[in-house]
Structure 1
Amino acid sequence: MKNLLHRWFIEAMSFMALGLFGTLIIGLIINTVADYVPPLAGLSVIGNTAQSLTGAAIGVAIAYGLKSPPLVIFSVLAVSQHAYDLGGAAASYIVSLIIIETARLYQKKTKLDIIVTPFLTLIIGMLLAGLIGEAVGGVMTGLGDFIVFSTEQRPFVMGILVSVVFGITLTAPLSSAALALMLDLSGIAAGAAVIGCCCHMVGLAAMSYRDNGVSGVISIGVGTSMLQVPNVLRNPFVIAPPVIASAIIAPIMTVFFPMENNAAGAGMGTSGFVGQIMAIETMGLTTSTVVLIAVFHIVLPLIVTLIFYKLFSFYGFIKQGDQIISLGK
């Protein structure tokens, strides 16, 4: 069971996030550039095309990540796109995962595999998408709407909760990007999620400077804070400063300086600066937006995390060498 949970919720979601980044997220970034740089307006065709293939990319990415044979990968493409059209990213993920696991019962079992595998994958997958696609999408969207509504009604408490949960999810071997898109998170709830992710990325990058140097700061701060997972498992106190920072900074934003974001940026933080680009996409490119991004996505996560890091270091909970990461050298 432990292996299955790892396969379904870590491996599958991680590869789903890659599929999302390769289509929906990069498509949104391209469209944002096209919107604000008139000479590059023609790029919107590329961005729109990439976004239109999001469902297909999710299925292919998951099938590839779970080491499915080629015939399953290529057939899941159509199934996943149909599920996405019916119920969004969550439906695409669930339907793709079920049909990929079901295909293990018949793939490469007959001499007519080139016909049997795609035929059964398409028929079963399409029926499954039709049966549960809309329901899955409705449940996840409803949950996302509830989170958004709750954050608007109780910005202080929900700002803390959303920020902390998404920050931890980002650093854990899960996909905060996939979670945000499955929930279709938006508004200030998405803004709070971004701050939680930024605290982990910017904060952990700054904390580990003495251990990893500039290359480590860039890898964590613009790449992924998941690089610290082995160190967090060895010393859980490593993750405490960014968690505390996210709990402090997010409610300041949600109560006094409301910032909005969208589902594509909510779970990304400063990874590829997607969270910041999507903030501009959502709120518009203004001086106020730029200042808020600088303060709440960079400056405050950096300062507050380092303050608590110094305290934890002073009392011996975190020591030099606790945050060394491997960059494949």
Structure 2
Amino acid sequence: METIIGLSLLVFALSLFSIFSLKAPMGKEAMGALAGTAIATFLVEAVHNYISGDLFGIGFLQEVGVSAGSLSGTIAAILVPIKMGVNPIFAVVSGAALLEIGIIPGFVAGYLVGLIAPKLEEKLPSGVSTIIGALVLAPFSRLVAVVTVPVVDATLLNIGDMIVIASEQSPIIMGFFLGGIIKVICSSPLSSMALTAMLGLQGLAMGIASIASFSGAFANGILFKRLKFGDNSNVVAVMLEPLTQAHIITTHPIPIYLTNFLGGGFGGLIAVYFGIVSNAPGTASPIPGMLAPFAFNAPVSVISALVLAVGGGLLGGYIGSTVYLLATRRVSLKPKIN
């Protein structure tokens, strides 16, 4: 039952994010900024606080990591309005007011500032617009974030908690399906980093998402190579960041999403086998997914998981591409009826 609920809530959350991304004003830009926030805060925190700091004992870099992780809400409230085209001063003002605020309330505050700041700037006299705008937007941003905190705790983070519980109670099933879904999202217009950051995934669930993102990169690589989707530069690009090849992905969604699901699912199973955990939400992308687990697991376990994840991704890519090639060949050989 926990597995069914966890997967159902994940699909529900995906539906909400899809609607927001596609229908909300500048929704794609806002979600892209949220993914950037996850890299600037959670990834830096994971690598420098736990690896450079705890593992190698470099105090200065540990301070860097702690600082980055504590400013997730502030950075979200700055990057989102900037990505939406707002005056950078207003964006910084909205973030500066969010001391000790988490990433999701910061995202909501930044998004609303991104919507109203341009209109506010139009209404104010040009000589004083910056001063008055700053004085108005700072408390507005803080108010929105503070009001959002209990709502977020009761909804998105609760969904994330259910997914975490389901992953722990039914690790094999969730490993495959969660890993597969996360990798499909990684290659879709949605952002897997933004999704896992919003849900606050941690523990085994985030470990599955991280290894699946890495594994799926190799599934994409072999698929692009076998089906001749572009040249070698396209193969490398889709492995590093799938969204750079959105023009190809949107043209061939069926083989790409099928292959990503298989490659990510195999990677998720590998993460479960080695018990890979991660407490750096928002790092579900090939490179962050490769690095972040080192902060929370024995290096030997992570390296073993990554090596096998390469094999799992290649296997998923080979199966997905073979199925597509056989299906298209069968269709092309089917006799036409006049």
After TM superposition, the score normalised by the length of structure 2 is: 0.80
How far residue 113 of structure 1 moved from its aligned partner, in angstroms, is 0.9
Cα deviation digits, residues 15-35 of structure 1 (max 9, x gap)? 122133223322322232343
Aligned-partner Cα distance in 2 for 1:71–1:280: 37
Once the two structures are superposed, the pairs formed by residues 54-203 of structure 1 within 5 Å of their partners are: 54-79=72-97, 81-82=98-99, 85-86=100-101, 88-111=102-125, 112-203=128-219
Distance 1:52 1:178 in 2: 17
Q: What letter corresponds to residue 217 of structure 2 in structure 1? A: M
Counterpart pick for 2:237 among 219, 224, 227: 219
Q: What residue number does 1:322 align with? A: none
2:329 and 2:136 mapped to 1: Cα distance? 55
Deviation at 1:191, TM superposition (A): 2.1
Q: CA RMSD in A?
A: 2.7
Contact 1:167/1:246 (<8 A) preserved? yes
Q: Secondary structure at the match of 2:255?
A: helix
Q: Which one-letter code corresponds to 1:97 in the other structure?
A: Y
Q: Which moved more, 1:206-215 or 1:307-316?
A: 206-215
1:258 aligns with 2:301: no
Alpha-carbon separation, structure 1, partners of 2:191 and 2:206: 15
Consecutive unaligned residues of structure 1, counting only runs of 5 or more, are: 319-329
Aligned residue among 304, 313, 318 for 1:291? 304
Which of 273, 292, 308 is the aligned partner of 2:320?
A: 308
Deviation string 1:104-126 (CA, Å, 9 cap, x unpaired) is 33223122312221111112222
2:255 aligned with 1:238: yes
Q: CA separation in 2, counterparts of 1:22 and 1:290?
A: 24
Distance in 2, matches of 1:283 and 1:3, equals 34
Amino acid in the other structure paired with 1:67: G
- Of 163-172 and 228-237, more deviation after overlay is shown by 228-237
For residues 206 and 180 of structure 1, the distance between their equivalents in structure 2, rounded to whole angstroms, comes to 26
1:172 aligned partner, one-letter code: S
CA distance in 2, matches of 1:189, 1:76: 32
Q: Report the CA distance between 1:183 and its aligned residue.
A: 1.3
Q: 1:34 to 1:215 in 2, by over 3 A?
A: farther
State the AA in 2 paired with 1:184: G
Distance 1:217 1:13 in 2: 25
Structure 1 position 144, deviation (Å)? 0.9
TM-superposed CA distance for 1:138, in Å, is 4.3
Alignment deviations for residues 245-286 of structure 1 (CA, whole Å, 9 cap, x no partner): 3335534643x4432223346512x22xx212211111132x
Structure 1 stretches of 4+ moved >4 Å:
1-4, 210-214
Bigger relative contact order, structure 1 or 2, given CA contacts below 8 A and separation 6+? 2
3-state SS, counterpart of residue 85 of structure 2: coil
Q: Given the two structures, how large is their TM-score scaled by the length of structure 1?
A: 0.82
Q: 1:8 to 1:153 in 2, by over 3 A?
A: farther
The 3-state SS of whatever aligns with 1:283 is coil
Deviations 1:191-225 (A, max 9, x none): 2222432343221123223554543333222x301
Contact (CA 8 Å) 1:232, 1:238: kept in 2 or not?
Answer: no
Counterpart Cα distance in 1 of 2:67 and 2:144: 26
After TM superposition, give the deviation of residue 314 of structure 1 in Å. Answer: 3.5
Residue 16 of structure 1 contacts residue 59 of structure 1 at CA under 8 Å; is this kept in 2?
A: no
Secondary structure (helix, strand or coil) at the match of 1:316 reads helix
